[in-house]
Each structure stands twice: as C-alpha cells, then as structure tokens.
Amino acid sequence: MAGDEETKSKASPSQRTPEPWENSNHPLFLHHLDQPDAVLVSQPLMEDNYTTWVQSMGMALTIKNKKGFIDGTIKRPTDNHDEQQQWDRCNTLVKTWLLGAMSKEISGSVIHCKDARSMWLELQERFSHTNTVQLFHTENTIHDCQTVNRVQTQSYHSSQN
C-alpha cells in the first residue's frame, strides 16, 4: 500500500503544468474558432463610418477577450519567451481581424503597423477628428438648400396673392 501512495504522489514525466493562456479566460487564450478570416463586424471600415465601426469592433474584441491588444492594457511580455510567442500570435490575429474589417484602401495604408495597438491608434488619428473642410462644405450645402427652399416658398406665396 505504501508503494501505491508513493507512485500516486510522483508526477509522470509526461504531465506538465498548463500555461496560464490555456485557460479560456486568459487574454492570450486562442480558441480553435479564432481564425484570421473570422468576420467580427458587419460593415467594413470606410471613410465615413469610423464612429460606428470603432464601437462595433471594440465590442467584438471585448467578446473575444482581445480588446487589451488595441487599448494597450495587454502589453508584450518581456521575460518569458513562450509567453512572448503567444502574445505575438494573438497580436497578429487581432491585426488580421482589424485588416479584414477595413476597405482595401484603408487596410493597405495601415498594414505596416508593428502591432494591433499602433494600427488602432493610426486609425483613430486619421478618422476620429472632424474634417473641418468637409464639415464647412456640408454646412454650406445645407444652408444653400434652406435658402433655395425659402425663396421657392416665398415665390409660391407671392404667386398665390
């Protein structure tokens, strides 16, 4: 009996301690369905839909437990080679998800980014600011439409009298 207990207490050489990212709640965990060609958002990023796209993509990455790659909270490890490799895999996957959710023109202009965070920040810099020239033209067009409408309405009322 003592021999049985001694055998049970010794770990076999094939047993190993699981890596932390093998837990499905760990941000470096990769599920077998986490594929580069997965569609995370219904509409690709275009020149005119950044606000809704960024919200949709943020929600999708939150569901996948990968939002930290774009908001900077999941930093690349510095001391564990295996963990660095796992981080690199996850970061590359997030980059492919981002690129796959953009128009070809936009993706071609950010593919050079070294990581998902820098890609996210470049998109933010490019699209989150209001284009004042475009806004000026849009406001002028609206104003011109209102002016034309007022003139037509006045002309109509004048002809009725």
Residues 62, 15: Cα–Cα separation, whole Å: 33
pTM of the shown model = 0.71
Which residue has tokens 């569901």? 63
Residues of the chain scoring pLDDT < 70: 1-13, 130-137, 139, 146-153, 155-161
Residue type, 66: K
| Full DSSP string of 105-149 | HHHHHHTT-SSHHHHHHHHHHHHSS--HHHHHHHHHHHHHHHHHH
DSSP annotation of 101: T
Tell how many helices (H) and how many strands (E) occur in the chain.
7, 0
Per-residue pLDDT tens digits for 35-72: 999 999 999 999 999 999 999 999 999 999 999 999 99
Residues 54, 49: Cα–Cα separation, whole Å: 9
What pLDDT is recorded for position 142? 83
Gap between the terminal Cα atoms of the chain:
114
| Residue (of 51, 52, 59, 48) closest to 97 by Cα position | 59
What pLDDT is recorded for position 161? 63
At 132, list the tokens: 């004042």
What pLDDT is recorded for position 129? 77
What pLDDT is recorded for position 137? 62
What pLDDT is recorded for position 107? 96
What pLDDT is recorded for position 70? 98
What pLDDT is recorded for position 130? 58
Residues with Cβ within 8 Å of 120's Cβ and at least 6 positions away in sequence, in order, are 70, 71, 98
**Could you tell me if 96 and 36 are in contact, meaning their C-beta atoms sit under 8 angstroms apart?**
yes
